[in-house]
Structure 1
C-alpha cells in the first residue's frame, strides 16, 4: 500500500533518523520484500529483509526520486541481498526452499480464503516449474506492479531479457492451465 502524498515528508524524516518514518517505510515495504525474498529461495528471508533495511538506512542519503523510484531501489537492494545470501550458502537454488504456495501465503498481506485452496495448489504447481528468474519477473511485474524497465533495473537484466522471461513464464502458465495444448479462441492479452 503506497504511502502517497506524504512520501516526501516520510522520506525526509527518515533521512533525519526519525523512528516513526522508518517504521512507516518498513510497514509499507516489508510484506512485499519479504514475499519476494522468500519466493526466490533466500536462505533466511527475515534476515535478508533486515539486511535490506540496514543497507537502506546507510545509503538513504544517496537516494533521489519519488515513491515509485524508492520502491524500485528497495527491491534492487533486496535482489542484491538475495544474491549475497545465495553466495554465502555456496549455491544458487534452483527452487525456493519449501513449498512456494505456502511461502507466498505466509508473506501475503491478506490470508487466502478457504475456497481458494484449489487455486493455490494450481499456483504452487506452476510456480514450482518456473525458474527463479521467471518467478521473480512474475512477482515483480504482477504482484508488485513494477514496469518492465523497473523490473530490469531491479534484476540487473536488460528490458529484453525481462520480456523474454515474462513471456516464457506466461507460456508455462498457459501450458499448465491448458495441458491439452489447444489454443483458446479468446485473443491473447498483450504482455504486462
Structure 2
C-alpha cells in the first residue's frame, strides 16, 4: 500500500523500511528527498520485484534492498548509521510470506532502542491489524506506545492516515513535525 501522506514532513538523512512489499515505501522516500534508503524484505518474490524496480537507484547507491528477516537485518543495517533515521515499520505477514514471526514489531523497536541515537522518527503502519487473530503475536498498541516512550520519553505521538484513517502511529521528538490526532 502506498504511503498516503507527505513523507517529507518526516525527512531525516536516512530512511529505513521493514517490509518492502512492492517498493511503495522506497518510491515515497525517493520522492521525499531522503539521502539514503534501506529496505528489508523477507519474501524473495517481493525482493526481486523491488530490486528490478529500483535498479538504477541501487546502482547509484541511493537505495539498498536487503533480503532477510527484520529480526536479524534491522540491527545490522542501523549499527553503523550515525545520524537520525526515519523508520517505516511495516514488516508483517503478507500474502503468506513472513519471517520468524508474523509481526516482529516489538523486536524492531528493541533494535531501535539499542541504537545510540534516541531521537529517530518512527512510523508504524497498519495499526488496524494489531491484535487481530492470525496476525501478530498479541501485538498491543499500548505496549507499542510504552516501548516508544522507553526509547525516548519525549516522543510526541500522533497518527497519520494510511489504508484507513489513523492507521499509522508517528513518534517524533520535534512536536512541530507531529500532525494528526495527539495521543498524550
How high is the TM-score relative to the length of structure 1? 0.27
Bigger share in helix: 1
